Homo-oligomer: A and B are copies of this chain.
Amino acid sequence: MSQKLTRYLPILDWGRSYNEVALSNDLMAAVIVTIMLIPQSLAYALLAGLPPEAGLYASIVPIILYAIFGTSRALAVGPVAVVSLMTAAALGHIADQGTMGYAVAALTLAFLSGAILLAMGVFKLGFLANFLSHPVIAGFITASGVIIAASQIKHILGISASGENLIELLHSIVVHLGGTNWITLIIGVSATAFLFWVRKGLKPFLKSKGVSAGAADVATKAGPVAAVVLTTVVVWLFGLSDHGVRIVGAVPQSLPPLTMPDFSFDLMGALLLPAILISVIGFVESISVAQTLAAKKRQRIDPDQELIGLGTANLGAAFTGGFPVTGGFSRSVVNFDAGAETPAAGAFTAVGLAIAALALTPLVFFLPQATLAATIIVAVLSLVDFSILKKAWGYSKADFAAVLATMLVTLGSGVELGVTCGVVLSIFLHLYKTTKPHIAEVGLVPSTEHFRNINRHKVETDPAILTLRIDESLYFANARFLEDYIYDRLAGDETIKHVVLMCSAINEIDFSALESLEAINARLRDMGIKLHLSEVKGPVMDRLQKHHFIADLTGQVFLSQHAAYDALKNSAT
């Protein structure tokens, strides 16, 4: 009972052995992450089309809930770039940004995501996320990064523009280009350039000045905060907001409010599909980060429990003024690098953000939106990596096709269609490959008991024995292919007296394939040829024995191909 409870409440596991060392490490990590999260949370709220405080709220209660239910020691939950973009895309169909309906729909979306994740966790459906292949994810993240960066250009220019895909966005930007606010542009470009330099050039520069690696790291992480402080002070000092520079403005000083999603049937129906996609994408992103970090410390992640952790976090976001959240890559890495030992670090971060929401929001009144856009652009462009195209091309054309389709459709038609296309195409291509399986004619590698392809290896064969190794499970999609292959191979070859199917690569024989095998057996019987099987694996044999096929087989079932060859060679001569 207690063990089961620990499984569902991982906090009981690490909480028991919590000590002073862990506490001080967790506190230190929490301070660093809090400072980093304040501008990031505001920025992602902006990206999702929500008021800035929603970003803070989405980082407080969800972090605490994940700390209780999640299994990763270092994962930091909150708004992330891709999910924020998907949130904006989903809500764009429902209501206009800035309206009450939009904010309430965001709560509903978080609620649906939470419910879906929780259900997947309870019913152990985490494996469904595996249908998103690595190349599809990589293609999707890269394309999303490009779209997110493009969506922020308007803030850098100080204009209005909108669009769900790259073409719409760029077109809208060009149309509105005449309205560019030059002061905003200078601030935005400076902030972007500064942040890029911090990311790429600051560390080597500090090191060359004799600063320790650790201190240089901290300085790099503090870059966005420095940009925020500097540009806020400049706007405030010179009164630039009177010259058209858009600022964050008044943010309520408040703890996360209690909020209620809209449970109307119509809204839930309209948001269901986006919520499924957000849940799955968010889960995949989160679990990848969690597993990467856990592997470094030889810890284990339980995917189904992760679903429960993320599910409760999203439900928390739904009832406290947030929007869909998941485990973020950059914040989790910072948390991990800063020395977080347990999920308590997350809880302390939540306390830090709560203090910020309560006391520090007046300080961001003059923060220019262009600075937030700059932090988003610099963050997401680090996710953009077109090299996956080259890597996939070099390894497998099918994987390449899946990446390319995902990228093009995401850029051209938006995130929802893009990821759906990628998944459907990669499943189809996988199935397609299995419809025409590789079939090798094999012979004995001399002075071994090993059988290999006669076209690739120098092997011994017997003209009366045809041994075929079928390199695929036999199931409905390829059952007929094997029949055709065997009949074609036998046509005109009168010397063959035995056909041996070497089943070492057959992992399943379904009912359709079984009927094909029966047909082959009957047809070969008519031709005076015996059909044998070799190296049938345990689970496959178990199933075959439930059926009369084995009894009807004209030949035998051999444990190994060598035994088959030995026995038939003697009988044939």
Contacts and interface: CB of A to CB of B under 8 A. Distances in A.
A462 interface: no
Interface string A56-76: 000000000000000000000
A475 B510 contact: no
A537 B440 contact: yes
Interface of A: 127, 130-136, 295, 300, 391-392, 394-396, 398-399, 426-427, 430-438, 440, 445, 448-450, 452-453, 456, 471-473, 475-481, 487, 504-508, 510-512, 514-515, 519, 523, 537-539, 543, 546-547, 559-560, 562-563
Contacts of A436: 127
B562 A449 contact: yes
B505 A505 contact: yes
A395 B514 contact: yes
Contact of A130 (B435, B440, B487, B511): B435
Closest A-B pairs by Cβ, 8 of them:
A133-B476, A449-B449, A134-B512, A399-B511, A450-B560, A471-B507, A504-B504, A133-B512
A459 to B, nearest CB: 12
A440 B538 contact: yes
B450 A537 contact: no
Given A395-B543, A440-B538, A543-B395, A476 B511 contact: no
Given A399-B511, A438-B537, A440-B538, 16 more contacts: A130-B435, A130-B476, A131-B476, A132-B476, A133-B475, A134-B476, A134-B511, A134-B512, A135-B512, A395-B511, A399-B510, A450-B560, A453-B538, A472-B473, A505-B507, A505-B537
10 contacts: A130-B477, A130-B479, A131-B431, A396-B543, A399-B512, A437-B507, A448-B562, A449-B562, A450-B562, A505-B537
A544 to B, nearest CB: 9
Contact of A135 (B136, B511, B523): B511
B514 A476 contact: no
A471 B509 CA distance: 13
A445 B442 CA distance: 22
Contact of A560 (B448, B471, B480): B448
A514 B507 CA distance: 20
B398 A510 contact: yes
A16 to B, nearest CB: 21
B395 A546 contact: yes
Contacts of A543: 395-396
Contacts of A136: 476
Nearest to A511: B399
Nearest to A476: B133
Nearest to A126: B480
Contacts of A391: 511
Contacts of A473: 434, 472
Contact of A477 (B131, B519, B562): B131
